[in-house]
Amino acid sequence: MHAWRIIAAAGAIAMLAMTAQAGTLDDVRAKGFVQCGVNTGLAGFAIADSQGGWTGLDVDYCKAIAAAVLGDGDKVKYTPLSAQQRFTALQSGEIDVLSRNTTWTLTRDASLGLVFAGVTYFDGQGFMVPKSLGIASAYELDGAEVCVQTGTTTELNLADFFRSQGMSFKPVVYESLAESKVGFFNGRCQVYTTDASGLASIRAADAPNPDDYVILPEIISKEPLGPVVRRGDEQWFTIVKWVVYATIEAEEKGVTAANVDDTRANTTDPVVQRLLGTAGEMGALQGLDNDWAFNIIKSVGNYGEIFDRNVGPNTLLRLERGINALWTEGGLMYAMPAR
Binding mask 277-316 for another protein (x = CB under 8 A): ----------------------------------------
Among 29, 31, 131, 188, binds another protein (CB under 8 A): 188
Q: Is 172 in the site for another protein (CB under 8 A)?
A: yes
E strands in 198-283: 213-215, 223-230
Single out the segment in contact with another protein by CB under 8 A; choices: 176-184, 212-220, 266-274, 311-319. 176-184
Among 7, 49, 50, 186, binds another protein (CB under 8 A): 186
Q: Is 234 in the site for another protein (CB under 8 A)?
A: no
d(CA 220, CA 199): 14
Q: Is 163 in the site for another protein (CB under 8 A)?
A: yes
- Shortest distance in whole angstroms from residue 219 CB to another protein: 19
Among 144, 177, 246, 300, binds another protein (CB under 8 A): 144
Q: Is 155 in the site for another protein (CB under 8 A)?
A: yes
Enumerate residues 6+ apart whose C-beta is below 8 A from 229.
Answer: 24, 90, 96, 97, 98, 114, 115, 117, 236, 237, 240
Among 179, 212, 261, 320, binds another protein (CB under 8 A): 179
d(CA 294, CA 254): 13
Q: Is 10 in the site for another protein (CB under 8 A)?
A: no
3-state helix/strand/coil string of 276-327:
HCCCCCHHHHHCCCCCHHHHHHHHHCCHHHHHHHHCCCCCCCCCCCHHHCEH
- Shortest distance in whole angstroms from residue 332 CB to another protein: 26
What is the full DSSP assignment across 46-76?
A: BEE-TTS-EESHHHHHHHHHHHHHHS-TT-E
Single out the segment in contact with another protein by CB under 8 A; choices: 45-53, 137-145, 303-311, 331-339. 137-145
Q: Is 137 in the site for another protein (CB under 8 A)?
A: no
CA separation, residue 111 to residues 226, 251, 318 (Å): 17, 34, 36
Please answer whether residues 40 and 83 qualify as being in contact, where contact means their C-beta atoms are separated by less than 8 angstroms: no
Among 231, 279, 280, 289, binds another protein (CB under 8 A): 231
Q: Is 91 in the site for another protein (CB under 8 A)?
A: yes
Among 11, 53, 143, 270, binds another protein (CB under 8 A): 143
Please answer whether residues 53 and 43 qualify as being in contact, where contact means their C-beta atoms are separated by less than 8 angstroms: no
What one-character DSSP code corresponds to residue 107?
Answer: H
Among 160, 212, 269, 281, binds another protein (CB under 8 A): 160
Please answer whether residues 141 and 191 qualify as being in contact, where contact means their C-beta atoms are separated by less than 8 angstroms: yes
| Angle, vertex CA 247, rays to CA 243 and CA 252, nearest 5 | 140
- Shortest distance in whole angstroms from residue 83 CB to another protein: 6
Q: Is 213 in the site for another protein (CB under 8 A)?
A: no
Binding mask 49-88 for another protein (x = CB under 8 A): ----------------------------------xx--xx
Enumerate residues 6+ apart whose C-beta is below 8 A from 130.
Answer: 190, 212, 213, 214
Q: Residue numbers of the site for another protein (CB under 8 A)?
A: 18, 21, 83-84, 87-88, 91, 107-108, 111-113, 141-145, 150-152, 155-156, 158-160, 162-163, 169-176, 179, 182-183, 186-190, 230-232
